[in-house]
Amino acid sequence: MDNWQCFQCKESMLDDKFPVHYQGITRTIQGIKCPRCGAKYLTEDIVVKIVNRQEKALEDK
């Protein structure tokens, strides 16, 4: 993921899949990770497309 850099380490973030826990459910999600410090982020695209929809669905909103 060349477009993102870790704010602290200035390293280019890498694509990664990692587990996310929510409402007692654990599943993997596509995100980005700093190869040096291990900080993990979700991109806006994933948040809008998946996280927001899943939150609404899981909380019956």
Partner 1 sequence: MPETFRDTESLCPVCLQKIPAQVVEEDGRVYLKKDCTEHGNVRTLVWRDASTYKEWGAWQMSFVPQQPRFIKKEDCPFVCGLCSEHLADTCSVVFEVTNRCNLNCPVCFAKSNEVNLLDPSLSKLKEELQAIVGNRGPFLIQLSGGEPTLRDDLPELISMIKNLGFKHVQVNTNGLRIAYEPDYLRKLKENGADVIYLQFDGLSDEIYRKIRGQKMLNVKQQAIRNCENEEMGVVFVVTLMRNVNFDQIGRLVEFAKSNIPTVKGLHFQPIAYFGRHPAPPQDDDRVTLDDVWKALEDQTAGMIKQENFVPEKVHPYCTFSGLFVLLESGEFLPISNYHRSLNECGCCGGPSPSEHWGNFISEYWRFRKDKEIEQIVGQDEAGSWIEFFKRSQTHYLTISCMPFQDAWTIDLNRLKRCCIHVLQENRLVPLCARYLTSTTGQRLY
- Interface positions with partner 1 (CB under 8 A): 17, 20, 25, 27-30, 49-51, 53-54, 57-60
Check residue 37 and report its DSSP letter.
T
Q: Which is nearer to partner 1, 17 or 36 (CB)?
A: 17
Please report how close the Cβ of residue 33 comes to partner 1 at its closest, in angstroms. Answer: 16
Please report how close the Cβ of residue 47 comes to partner 1 at its closest, in angstroms. Answer: 11
Please report how close the Cβ of residue 9 comes to partner 1 at its closest, in angstroms. Answer: 27
- For 5, the 3-state DSSP assignment is strand
Check residue 48 and report its DSSP letter.
I
Q: Where are the beta strands (DSSP E) in the chain?
A: 14-22, 25-33, 40-41
